[in-house]
Amino acid sequence: AQTVTQSQPEMSVQEAETVTLSCTYDTSENNYYLFWYKQPPSRQMILVIRQEAYKQQNATENRFSVNFQKAAKSFSLKISDSQLGDTAMYFCAFYAGNMLTFGGGTRLMVKP
């Protein structure tokens, strides 16, 4: 079974600054995928970024990038130039087989 751990229940950042959210996971799988999902107050689950485990290059999507360390089983999310609209709950998720396993989430508050 896979486990996903997000050690930061809450974080805050000033608008326009950079913040990094941490995620670690445990698995015996070799082929898997990792994701960050954003859940704003509307509760909609929005896919932010994905990373294939077989790829060494870190994924980037505009202001969002990841630091994927496969050997350390670490998958952190960096948000650059934080915006007020980034305020949300962020979930790290692991996919293998046919289901997603989520971490406990990090609540991010972007302050003006």
Q: Contact, 93 vs 24, CB < 8 A?
A: no
By CB under 8 A, is residue 43 in contact with other proteins? Answer: yes
Q: Which is nearer to other proteins, 55 or 81 (CB)?
A: 55
Q: How far is CA 61 from the centre of its chain?
A: 12
Instruction: Give the per-residue contact string, 86-105, with other proteins (x = CB under 8 A; - = no).
Output: -----x---x-xxxxxxxxx
What's the token pair of residue 46?
């929005």
Which letter, b or e, does each residue of 90-100 get, where b requires 16 or more Cβ atoms within 10 Å of its Cβ? bbbbbbbeeeb
Question: Judged by CB under 8 A, which of 27, 45, 70, 73 binds other proteins?
Answer: 45
- Which residues contribute to the site for other proteins (CB under 8 A)? 33, 37, 42-47, 50, 91, 95, 97-105
